[in-house]
Amino acid sequence: MRIAVLCHASAGGSGVVATELGMLLADSGHEVRFIGASVPFRLSGRHHLRGPYFHQVGNYAYALFEQSFPEITQANALAEVIYEHDVQLTHAHYAIPHATSAIHARAITGRTRVITTLHGTDVTLVGLDPAFKHSTRYAIERSDHVTAVSHFLADQTREMFGVDTPIEVIHNFVDTQRFQRNHDPAVRARFAHPEEAILVHVSNFRAVKRTEDVIEAFARVSTELPARLLMIGDGPDRPRAFELAQKLGVLGRTQFLGSFPDVETVLSIADLFMLPSQQESFGLVALEAMSCEVPVVAARIGGIPEVVEDGVTGILCEVRDVDAMADAALRILRDPATYHAMGRAGRERALTHFHPSLILPRYLAAYERLIPAETT
């Protein structure tokens, strides 16, 4: 098949999944072309004769225009790729602007089918804004097929937008070879002393991620046992988290690593992953932690319970209940039997429920329903 992919280039979950899926498709012999303003985060550094290929969306500045038009420029770039490479199917990850761009390009060219994957905030946050709500509903209803990364998100989409469009749930996946336990003490020594437990949080440091709850919970944990906190990512709430760590006296035991590209190295030596978000449609980084045999303490919200099995691969708490999260972390870290059992269960769940070999065929089946075999 000849497939175009539209996605965000950042290290967020939707961009990561879109890129990983595109690479799997290329490795399976399909012709995959990414179209965007910049090279997707996980695609950087990959060079292979079979692709995936990348096509840049140009910027257009004109004095009359007060702002750029990413949907139009992306649709135009996609239309050029469709004409030149006879693209059969466009996979848009995120409703605005990617699905609307794909639908626009389909109208321009009279070619390509459009499959849209909803990842979360494109529906639950951006899509509900009055500036985008009608466009988001249009993108959902006019796509040839729609998928969502969790049952929670599919249900929320139907409820919030009042659509009766069929939405197929295809969970995210994790590269279990890339994300696996590293038992080398030298790697662990880069981040902590041997006697210290390593707690990790990864996010875009926005209000919805509740990064300050991580700092508060860690402050309570660190009064009970030697521990170190690694905060990975960047965003508007990072200064506030830094100030809180300073105020609570744990800044010396907390490292803010920024947009650390090698997140699997940190997760592979972690002892606990914390995800206190007030909104999560799936929780990809929690799955990546589980694949590394790391127990998860997370909020019981959104699609997280579809990933983290409460009491088996981690412990789920109510949103904002910092005391419960600290208690859960201590319960896991103080009991080696619980810690190892949850770690093994997390790895097993990643292998048996979210392995690429299980998820890729479901996307291929969806593609083949849109593009019959005799036309490929």
Instruction: Give the pLDDT of residue 155.
Output: 94
CB-based burial, 38-60: b 16+ in 10 Å, e otherwise: eebbbbeeeeeeebbbbeebeee
pLDDT score of 64 more than 80: no
End-to-end CA distance of the chain: 5
Listed in sequence order, the residues at least 6 apart from 39 whose beta carbon sits closer than 8 Å to its beta carbon are 9, 54
Instruction: Give the pLDDT of residue 62.
Output: 55
Instruction: Give the pLDDT of residue 79.
Output: 96
CATH 3.40.50.2000 for domain 2-173+355-375:
yes
* Per-residue three-class SS string for 179-225: CCCCCCHHHHHCCCCCCCEEEEEECCCCHHHCHHHHHHHHHHHHCCC
pLDDT score of 13 more than 80: no
**Euclidean distance between CA atoms 287 and 348, whole angstroms:** 11
CB-CB neighbours of 340 under 10 Å? 12
* Residue 16, token pair as written in the block: 């990561």
Instruction: Give the pLDDT of residue 127.
Output: 54
**Euclidean distance between CA atoms 291 and 181, whole angstroms:** 8
Instruction: Give the pLDDT of residue 324.
Output: 98
pLDDT score of 63 more than 60: no
Instruction: Give the pLDDT of residue 132.
Output: 77
Average pLDDT over residues 121-142: 79
CB-based burial, 143-158: b 16+ in 10 Å, e otherwise: bbbbbbbbebbbebbb
Average pLDDT over residues 32-37: 90
Listed in sequence order, the residues at least 6 apart from 262 whose beta carbon sits closer than 8 Å to its beta carbon are none
More confident residue, 218 or 258: 218
Which segment of 55-69, 114-128, 136-150 scores lowest on mean pLDDT? 55-69
Q: What is the residue-averaged pLDDT of the chain?
A: 91
Asked if 14 and 120 count as a contact pair (C-beta separation under 8 A), the reply is yes
pLDDT by residue (tens digit) across 225-263?
Answer: 999 999 999 999 999 999 999 999 999 999 999 987 789
pLDDT score of 117 more than 90: yes
Phi, psi of 225 (to 5 degrees): -155, 155
Instruction: Give the pLDDT of residue 41.
Output: 66
Domains of the chain: which residue ranges? 2-173+355-375, 185-353
Q: How confident is the model at residue 36 (pLDDT cuts 50, 70, 90)?
A: confident
Asked if 281 and 150 count as a contact pair (C-beta separation under 8 A), the reply is yes
**Euclidean distance between CA atoms 162 and 260, whole angstroms:** 40
Domains 2-173+355-375 and 185-353 share a fold: yes
Task: Give the chain's length.
Answer: 376
Listed in sequence order, the residues at least 6 apart from 192 whose beta carbon sits closer than 8 Å to its beta carbon are 198, 228
* Per-residue three-class SS string for 254-318: EEEEECCCCHHHHHCCCCEEEECCCCCCCCHHHHHHHHCCCCEEEECCCCHHHHCCECCCEEEEC
Residue of 200, 193, 189 lying closest to 272 (CA atoms):
200
Instruction: Give the pLDDT of residue 68.
Output: 65
Instruction: Give the pLDDT of residue 170.
Output: 98
Instruction: Give the pLDDT of residue 125.
Output: 66
Average pLDDT over residues 102-124: 91
Q: How confident is the model at residue 290 (pLDDT cuts 50, 70, 90)?
A: very high
Query: In percent, how much of the chain has pLDDT > 90?
Result: 77
Instruction: Give the pLDDT of residue 14.
Output: 81
Which CB contacts under 8 angstroms, 24+ apart, belong to 334-341? 334/224, 334/225, 338/295, 339/271, 339/295
pLDDT by residue (tens digit) across 319-356?
Answer: 999 999 999 999 999 999 999 999 999 999 999 999 99
Q: What is the DSSP string of 224-240?
A: TS-EEEEEE--STTHHH
Instruction: Give the pLDDT of residue 261.
Output: 74
pLDDT score of 206 more than 80: yes
pLDDT score of 28 more than 60: yes
Instruction: Give the pLDDT of residue 45.
Output: 62
pLDDT by residue (tens digit) across 257-287?
Answer: 998 778 999 999 999 999 999 999 999 999 9
Q: How confident is the model at residue 59 (pLDDT cuts 50, 70, 90)?
A: confident
Query: For 110-166, where are the alpha helices, taking DSSP H only?
Result: 121-124, 133-142, 151-161
Instruction: Give the pLDDT of residue 193.
Output: 95
Instruction: Give the pLDDT of residue 66.
Output: 53
* CATH for the stretch 185-353: 3.40.50.2000
